[in-house]
Chains A and B, each alone.
Chain A
Amino acid sequence: MAYSTFCQTPNNARLEPMFLGQSVNVARYDVQKYEVFEKLIEKQLSFFWRPEEVDVSKDKIDYAALPEHEKHIFISNLKYQTLLDSIQGRSPNVAFLPLVSLPELETWIETWSFSETIHSRSYTHIIRNIVNDPSIVFDDIVENEEILKRATDIAQYYDDLIKLTQAFHLLGEGTHTIDGKEVLVTEREIKKSLYLCMMSVNVLEAIRFYVSFACSFAFAERNVMEGNAKIIRLIARDEALHLNSTQHIIKLMQAGVDDPEMGEIAKECEQQAYDIFVKAAEQEKEWAQYLFKDGSMIGLNEQILCQYVEYITNERMKSVNLDLPYENISNPLPWMKNWLESDSVQVAPQEVEVSSYLVGQIDASIDESEFEDFDL
Chain B
Amino acid sequence: MLLFTQQHTSLLMALEQKQIKVFSECRNGYCGACKTKIKSGSVTYHTEPLVSLGSDECLPCCCMPDGDIDLDLSADGVQVVRATAKHERPETANI
Q: Which residues, 331 to 352 on A, are CB-close (under 8 Å) to B?
A: 331, 337, 340-345
Q: Is the CB of B24 within 8 A of A240?
A: no
Interface pair A241/B30, CB less than 8 Å apart: yes
A293 at the interface (CB under 8 A from B): no
Decide if A342 touches B27 in the complex (CB within 8 Å). Answer: yes
Would you give the shortest CB distance from B8 to chain A, in whole angstroms?
12
Quick one: which of B9, B23, B51 contacts A331, CB cutoff 8 A? B23
Contact (Cβ within 8 A) B28 A344 = yes
Chain A window 211-255, contacts with chain B (Cβ cutoff 8 Å), 1 for yes, 0 for no:
000000000000000000000000001001101100110010000
Q: A40 on the interface (CB 8 Å rule)?
A: yes
Establish whether residues B51 and A240, one from each chain, have CB atoms under 8 Å apart when the complex forms: no
Verify if A43 is at the interface (C-beta below 8 Å from B): yes
- In the complex, the answer to whether A39 meets B26 with C-beta atoms within 8 Å is no
Given contacts A315-B23, A330-B21, contact A241 B31 (CB under 8 A): yes
Asked if residues B24 and A337 are in contact (CB atoms below 8 Å), the reply is: yes
User: B51 near A244 (CB under 8 angstroms)?
Assistant: yes
Check if B32 sits within 8 Å of A244, measured CB to CB.
yes
Q: Which residue of chain B is the closest to A314 with respect to CB atoms? A: B23
Q: Report which of B21, B23, B25 forms a contact with A341, defined as CB distance below 8 A.
A: B25
Please tell me which one of the listed residues B24, B26, B52 contacts residue A237 in the complex, with CB atoms under 8 A apart: B26
Q: CB-nearest residue of chain B relative to A343?
A: B28
Bound together, the chains give a CA A43 to CA B50 distance in angstroms of: 9
- Could you tell me if B31 and A244 are in contact, using CB atoms closer than 8 angstroms? yes
Pair A315/B27 contact, Cβ less than 8 Å: no
| Number of B residues with CB within 8 Å of any CB on chain A | 17
CB of B32, distance to nearest CB on chain A (Å): 5
| Contacts of B22-70 to chain A: CB distance below 8 A | 23-28, 30-33, 35, 47, 50-52
Does A170 make an interface contact (CB < 8 A)?
no
Q: How far is the CA of A247 from the CA of B50 in the complex (A)?
A: 12
User: Which of A243, A315, A342, A345 has the largest count of B CB atoms less than 10 A from its CB?
Assistant: A342
Q: Mark A254-270, 1 if CB is under 8 A from B, else 0.
A: 00000000000000000
- Which B positions have Cβ atoms within 8 angstroms of A? 9, 21, 23-28, 30-33, 35, 47, 50-52
17 intermolecular pairs with C-beta atoms under 8 Å apart: A36-B52, A43-B30, A43-B50, A240-B33, A241-B50, A244-B30, A244-B31, A244-B50, A319-B33, A330-B21, A331-B21, A337-B25, A340-B25, A341-B24, A342-B27, A342-B28, A344-B27
Other than the given A241-B50, A337-B24, A344-B28, 13 more pairs (CB < 8 A) read A40-B50, A43-B30, A244-B31, A244-B32, A244-B51, A247-B32, A319-B33, A331-B21, A331-B23, A337-B25, A341-B24, A341-B27, A344-B47
Mark A residues whose CB is within 8 Å of B. 36, 39-40, 43, 237, 240-241, 243-244, 247-248, 251, 315, 319, 330-331, 337, 340-345
